[in-house]
């Protein structure tokens, strides 16, 4: 069925309840969502206890309810029901507008790929209950950082930059896999400094996806944000240190507001902090350490950390097998951005083959560098960074009298090469002033010589 047919057949969606269960070892968080006339959904989270802290019950309830609001959109998108009811909990109109903004822009790729024409006013109406969750004022000490680990080069660079604060840091991993666990362990973090959380999707959603109901990308980084807030609070961490770079702000679709990375953007980061400080509590600061810098600078620093070469993985296609698939846009982007700094031999050792010799990736390279107007729907750098990295690698090859790889031979015949070959590389001294990085962490970026 189409978007409009599904909305007509299943007009009502509800967030029925959330539940917090606790034993001596862990917290179990459960939620129920319902598409009336189709299915109920019960996703869960399990968060281990790392200490004996007794949480403020009202605050924990507010945090868990908010996590449920981020989970909601994954189930709502199955039918895009026009009427959403939040049972029991009351939200102000400002809060409703905040959540609708996150859902609308966070689903930009989903709407685009499913050819759904809608707007922020009409895609959803929301009604809420009567119980008010009030902001909590705490008089407690928070110290150190919670660092979400994705297993790619970005979180590795973050851990390296803030290593001076090692003893006060806690690594945060959702559904651990090889690369995430090995990243934390290789950076020196033991079991007591790693919080492994288990998130489980409802099987009914997965079955409905197979049956052909609507499916697509959701703003996963907003789930990371609200879940990390819970884990940071339960472990009294003052900062949540993300690894989202400046290029996350760039739209995927040329001259449209469709950004695969919306919930990694600076706009979401600001919105999130404003929401938490107004409606939940004041004690934790969420920011991206890498927001001031570029993918180019991140790659340059990562190249200095060879002990992570065989460990890091950020390929979504190969994530379940903890490998690079060597055929997707993410793999090719990482290969391109690292190539100015890492030898061809090491690149082949990392990926298992030379991606720049693969003719089937020519179309992907065109999307990454802007020969084609739209970028791939992946977490990749800006078009400008890609062109700069390609030209720097070409210069390196020619200086060393090395034969250019297949894709770069082709690139040299394009207008993009003519446009960029003589451009000054501004990324070595790049600094993005639109960031929320505290001065303590800016100092560490400077000490690491990234900025």
- Domain residue ranges of the chain, discontinuous segments joined by +: 3-288, 314-430
pTM of the full structure: 0.95
Which two structure tokens, joined as six digits, stand for 442? 């800016």
Classify the phi-psi angles of 225: left when phi > 0, otherwise alpha if psi is within -120 to 50, otherwise beta.
alpha
136: helix, strand or coil: coil
What is the DSSP-derived secondary structure letter of residue 443? H
- Taking only the tens of pLDDT, the chain with its 451 residues reads 899 999 999 999 999 999 999 999 999 999 999 999 999 999 999 999 999 889 999 999 999 999 999 999 999 999 999 999 999 999 999 999 999 999 999 999 999 999 999 999 999 999 999 999 999 999 899 999 999 999 999 999 999 999 999 999 999 999 999 999 999 999 999 999 999 999 999 999 999 999 999 999 999 999 999 999 999 999 999 999 999 988 878 888 877 878 888 999 999 999 999 999 999 999 999 999 999 999 999 999 999 999 999 999 999 899 889 999 999 999 999 999 999 999 999 999 999 999 999 999 999 999 999 999 899 999 899 999 999 999 999 999 999 999 999 999 999 999 999 999 999 999 988 999 999 999 999 999 999 999 9
Residue 321 Cα to chain centre, angstroms: 20
Helix (H) or strand (E) holding 102: helix 93-106
Cα separations in angstroms, 113 against 108, 110, 260, 384: 9, 5, 11, 25
- Are 25 and 173 a contacting pair, CB within 8 Å? no
- Are 132 and 278 a contacting pair, CB within 8 Å? no
Handedness of CA 294, 181, 230, 208 (dihedral sign): positive
CA dihedral 446, 290, 161, 386 (to 10 degrees): -90
361: helix, strand or coil: helix
* Burial classification of residue 424, based on how many CB atoms lie within 10 Å of its CB (0-12 exposed, 13-18 middle, 19 or more buried): exposed
């Amino acid at each position: 069925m189409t978007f409009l047919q599904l909305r007509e057949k299943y007009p009502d969606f509800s967030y029925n309840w959330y539940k917090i269960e606790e034993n001596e070892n862990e917290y179990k968080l459960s939620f129920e969502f319902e598409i009336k006339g189709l299915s109920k959904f019960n996703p869960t989270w399990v968060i281990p206890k790392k200490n004996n802290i007794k949480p403020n019950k009202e605050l924990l309830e507010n945090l868990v309810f908010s996590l449920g609001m981020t989970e909601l959109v994954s189930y709502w998108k199955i039918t895009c029901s026009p009427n959403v009811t939040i049972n029991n909990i009351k939200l102000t109109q400002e809060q409703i507008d905040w959540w609708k903004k996150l859902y609308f822009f966070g689903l930009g790729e989903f709407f685009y790929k499913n050819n759904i024409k809608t707007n922020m006013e009409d895609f959803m109406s929301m009604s809420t209950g009567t119980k008010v969750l009030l902001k909590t004022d705490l008089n407690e000490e928070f110290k150190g950082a919670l660092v979400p680990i994705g297993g790619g080069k970005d979180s590795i660079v973050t851990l390296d930059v803030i290593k001076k604060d090692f003893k006060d840091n806690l690594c945060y991993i959702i559904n651990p896999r090889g690369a995430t666990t090995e990243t934390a362990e290789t950076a020196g973090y033991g079991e007591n400094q790693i919080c492994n959380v288990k998130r489980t999707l409802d099987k009914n959603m997965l079955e409905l996806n197979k049956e052909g109901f609507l499916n697509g990308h959701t703003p996963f980084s907003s789930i990371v944000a609200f879940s990390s807030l819970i884990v940071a609070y339960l472990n009294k961490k003052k900062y949540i240190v993300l690894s989202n770079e400046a290029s996350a702000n760039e739209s995927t679709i040329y001259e449209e507001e469709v950004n695969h990375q919306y919930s990694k953007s600076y706009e979401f980061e600001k919105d999130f902090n404003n929401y938490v400080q107004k409606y939940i509590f004041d004690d934790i600061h969420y920011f991206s350490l890498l927001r001031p810098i570029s993918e180019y600078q991140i790659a340059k620093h990562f190249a200095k950390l060879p002990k992570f070469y065989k460990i890091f993985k950020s390929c979504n296609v190969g994530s379940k097998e903890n490998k690079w698939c060597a055929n997707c846009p993410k793999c090719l982007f990482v290969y391109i951005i690292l190539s100015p700094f890492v030898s061809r031999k090491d690149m082949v050792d990392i990926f298992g083959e030379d991606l720049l010799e693969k003719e089937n990736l020519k179309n992907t390279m065109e999307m990454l560098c802007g020969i084609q107007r739209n970028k791939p729907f992946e977490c990749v750098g800006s078009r400008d960074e890609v062109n700069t990295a390609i030209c720097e690698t070409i210069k390196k090859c020619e200086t060393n009298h090395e034969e250019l790889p297949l894709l770069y031979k082709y690139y040299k015949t394009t207008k993009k090469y003519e446009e960029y070959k003589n451009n000054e590389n501004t990324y070595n001294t790049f600094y993005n002033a639109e960031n929320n990085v505290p001065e303590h962490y800016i100092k560490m970026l400077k000490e690491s010589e990234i900025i």
